[in-house]
Chains A and B, each alone.
Chain A
Amino acid sequence: METISIRAPSVAPSGTKTRRSMRTRLPAAIALLPTALVVLVVYIGCMLWTVRLSFTSSTLLPKLDWVGLAQYNRLFVNDRFVTSAENIVIFGILFISGCLIIGFLLAVFIDQNVRGEGLFRTVFLYPYSMSFVVTGVAWQWFLNPGLGLQKLVRDLGFESFTFDWLVNQKMAIYTIVIAGLWHGSGLTMAIMLAGLRGIDKDLWKAARVDGIPTWRVYTSVVIPLLRPMIVTAVVLLATGVVKLYDLVVAMTLGGPGIATEVPAKFVMDHLFERNNIALGTAAATMMLITVVIVLAPWVYARYIRAEGRRA
């Protein structure tokens, strides 16, 4: 949006102006060239290469034959890929919504001018400074029935207490969500808090004069005003969902059984351990297609329709 409004004035041309803007733009263009090349060659190029390989029968080394959709047929009857796809949906929905809710509540809590705000802010943001591997290992220990929480509570005298989600096929994916929430909520809080601090104090005063209850101000005034912050947080969290890999590897290694497998792990395993580049790239292509399908309506609404209206 911003870029469009900046560009608008320079579009109105007169000969000298165009030349001057050319002169100022040339260095900018040169400076951007390496990045543009990297984007074109590394990102777009590798993406096309991946898609191409998914139509081959490559195993250990890439091979450029053509087998049509054979790899995709195998992919969709593969238990593990289907479970991975379901898991990423469960994780994605719970992780993003959970982080937004917890992050928002923490931000509101800190925004009440509590004493020791700095301390709380650090404590809540601290998990984000951990890598997913550390997070995963720590939570693995904590949730292990024989070592962590369950043993602790039982040792305290509650013999019948059971919390074995980590080793329970049906519940294991939710332990990944819990670890993810612990890791990601702090960042969401920081973003939301920045947004809350940016809200005009006069709005609060006006609301108080009108006698509107606080919760109502939050839901009807503050949250709509926080929209850009929410979008930022969602985008950041969503990238975390797509690339979910290290947390799972550190915490459950996809187990028990295949209960916590995720697409990124499927791709990695097939590319590097199972000598099956074609099936791995087919799975990667499916991930790409999913991301595009999710993003397309948003990109359309945000840029293409907006552009069209302007013209």
Chain B
Amino acid sequence: MSMKTRVSAYTLSVALFCSTGAMAQQMKAEVLHWWTSAGESASVKVFADQFTKAGGTWVDNAIAGGANARTAGINRMVGGNPPTMMQFNTGKQFDELVSNGLVRDVDAIAKAGKWREIMPKPIVDATVREGKFYAVPVNIHGQNWMFYNTKVFADAGLEVPKTFPELVATGEKLKAKGIIPIALGGQPNWEHNLFRAVLVGHGGADMFRKLYGARDPQIAKDPKFKESVELFGKMRALVDPGSPGRNWNDATALVITNKAAMHFNGDWAKGEFIAAGQTAGKEYGCTVVGQEPKLQIGGDVFVFPATKDKSQLAVQDKLIEVMLDPTTQIEFNKKKGSIPVRMDVDVSSMDVCAQKSHAILSDPANQVESMEILSTPNFSGAMQDAVTQYWNNPSMSADAFMEKVTNAMRDAT
């Protein structure tokens, strides 16, 4: 409802604004995305407003749920009636659209804008196919942040753990004091998210790439991998019994309300803290656990369905220009919880978590591709099945889990 009202308000204002020229008809952009939660729609509104200022008409086509939105968009592209631009997650989701010639090559604009120099390499690699940019990255999300409640740690007289063995030890002390050490949304994808945080934090970036990218079965013989799996297994005792089935935002709420100490999540969870009126660095802190702060990064991109229509191409060019403008980037990412995809913008106006994220990523050695970039949805799904079985069955050994992982490597497409 509100979305509709807003769309018509935009349309109306722009129509009035541009009524003198023929621009209104030509600069119409239909944008398909799945940013429907409060924080997300506030962030997409930044794009819409900037595009409207630049003389365009933004037709908002928001579809709740990533999978639903992608299915709808892909069906429209295959059916020959595509939107002007469409959202994807950074990674393999649009591979087949590229190989079927359904999306536009934007490499000329990328070269002019020096994207290869100003964006982190994992993001560039995830967007470039056969040497050409086929999508426009708009932000960077870090997926393995640990949010913690500063008050809970201060009251317990404990330090915030820096590595995973430390975290397990600290967790047991917290549990003894009657605090939930780790707030977890006990749904398969969040269990999997936690596993990846442990793997990249304890096993390291290469091991992470070997598992999700190269699918190297030798990894099962690596003692460091087994150690990571066992550490992850020990964390089963650090969540509360009510965890299975819980939504991630309810898990975040446990940290916000001082019931739990730590919570692993992507930086999008910041939205929940902000909505509760808390400030990063004050009531809650954020850190990346591990010897070195390896951050799994992903994010969102927009693809532009291929078209021969000159006016549509011009609209697409304008959209790219608007979205990557430094001011738009800062404003958009403040609302979204992510950080600008361009490393050359000044982030001093953003919160401490975003600044930390920017600082970590300034060293290319800390940039690790997220699972969505490295792995096919099918292998990710098979891994998720294995992880959730291991997590929920305390009697399953690390070896049994590793066998499932090897099977998943073999069977998944």
A residues near B (Cβ < 8 Å) are 57, 59-61, 74, 77-80, 140, 144-147, 164, 166-167, 169, 251-259, 269-270, 272-276, 279
Contacts and interface: CB of A to CB of B under 8 A. Distances in A.
A253 B192 CA distance: 14
Interface in B58-103: 67-68, 71, 74, 78, 93, 95-96, 100
B245 A255 contact: yes
Interface stretch (B226-234, B328-336, B358-366, B381-389): B381-389
B186 interface: yes
A273 B245 contact: no
A251 B78 CA distance: 35
A218 B250 CA distance: 50
With a 10 A CB-CB cut-off, give which of A60, A77, A269 has the most chain B CB atoms: A60
Interface residues of B, number: 33
B129 to A, nearest CB: 14
A255 B186 contact: yes
A252 B244 contact: yes
A147 B241 CA distance: 11
B377 A275 contact: yes
A80 B385 contact: yes
B376 A167 contact: no
B188 interface: yes
A257 B392 contact: yes
Contact of A274 (B240, B378, B404): B378
A270 B244 CA distance: 22
A61 B100 contact: yes
B392 A259 contact: yes
B389 A60 contact: no
A60 B97 CA distance: 9
B389 to A, nearest CB: 5
Given A167-B186, A252-B245, A274-B378, 20 more contacts: A59-B96, A59-B376, A59-B378, A60-B96, A61-B78, A74-B411, A146-B242, A166-B245, A167-B244, A167-B245, A169-B392, A252-B244, A256-B245, A258-B188, A258-B389, A272-B68, A273-B67, A273-B377, A275-B376, A276-B378
A235 to B, nearest CB: 31
B249 interface: no
Contacts of B71: 272
B187 A255 contact: yes
B391 interface: yes
Contact of B413 (A59, A167, A169, A255): A59
With a 10 A CB-CB cut-off, give which of A146, A164, A251, A275 has the most chain B CB atoms: A275
A248 to B, nearest CB: 11
Given A60-B96, A146-B241, A166-B244, A255 B411 contact: no
Contacts of B188: 253-255, 257-258
